[in-house]
Homo-oligomer: A and B are copies of this chain.
Amino acid sequence: MADDQEVAVARAGEDADSARALLERLHDPARVLALSDGVFAILITLLVLEIHVPELTQGHSLNQALREVRPSLVAFVISFILAGMYWVGHRDLFALIRRTDRGLVWLNVLYLLPLCLLPFAAGLLGRYDQEPVALRIYGLLLVVIAVMRVVMWLYATNRPHLLWQRLDERQRRAGLAVNVVPGLVYLLAFLVAVVAPGVSLLIYAGVPVLYFLSITVLRGSRKRDQEFADFT
């Protein structure tokens, strides 16, 4: 009878072990990252489909041909760099994350949704780069993406059991700022598009430049606070 009990205890232990193992598999971020990296890779590669082969007539110069595809090319480069920034940010966030729960899995899917609309918005911007409406749709999309990033950041950093390591309040606020600030800038570009389309386009093109400047400066000044210096 003691044996029976031992077997039962052992079995319960086994069940608990296998239940825990199942939970670990269900919470493993591996496939979330596989899907996300796949989406980012396709996204930046699909952007090229919006650059149409121009009509070349004999005597056409290289400059003329390039001038024709210039708006598409500008929209391509801006969108590519933005997607690159989003991917780097996603990689930084998930470097903090040890487990995913159902909420985070779905937030990630819902974050990919507006991201997947980027080729459409880039195509629109490439074709109507002077039109306020195209600039506003582009800005609107970037604002929605920024909102989703903030939601993911708050959701994940609020749940220490999902993280490798609990973040302190200062780190959370710094990470939040990194996500909120570009959202506000894009909101400005959206609002300004009607009265000054040129300024709006300049903002979209300028954010990456500011981004590169800021990470260079940040890196110089706060070497030690690596966690959120790297979440930029």
Where the two chains meet, the residues of A that have a C-beta atom closer than 8 Å to any C-beta of B are 18-19, 21-23, 25-26, 28, 31, 33-49, 51, 53-54, 56, 58, 60-62, 65-66, 76-77, 80-81, 84, 87-88, 91-92, 95-96, 102, 105-106, 109-110, 112-113, 116-120, 123-124, 127-128, 131-134, 136-137, 164-165, 212, 215, 219, 226-227, 230
Contacts and interface: CB of A to CB of B under 8 A. Distances in A.
B22 A165 contact: yes
B113 A80 contact: yes
B133 A102 contact: no
A44 B106 contact: no
A226 B48 CA distance: 37
27 contacts: A18-B165, A19-B226, A21-B164, A22-B95, A25-B164, A31-B33, A31-B91, A34-B34, A35-B87, A36-B41, A37-B41, A38-B40, A39-B44, A42-B46, A44-B113, A44-B116, A45-B46, A46-B46, A47-B116, A53-B120, A54-B124, A56-B124, A84-B106, A84-B109, A84-B113, A88-B109, A91-B105
A49 B47 contact: no
A116 B34 contact: no
Question: How many protomers of this protein does the assembly include?
Answer: 4
Contacts of A43: 45
A44 B133 contact: no
A56 B102 contact: no
The 9 closest A-B pairs by CB, nearest first: A38-B41, A84-B109, A34-B37, A42-B45, A25-B95, A53-B123, A18-B165, A39-B41, A26-B95
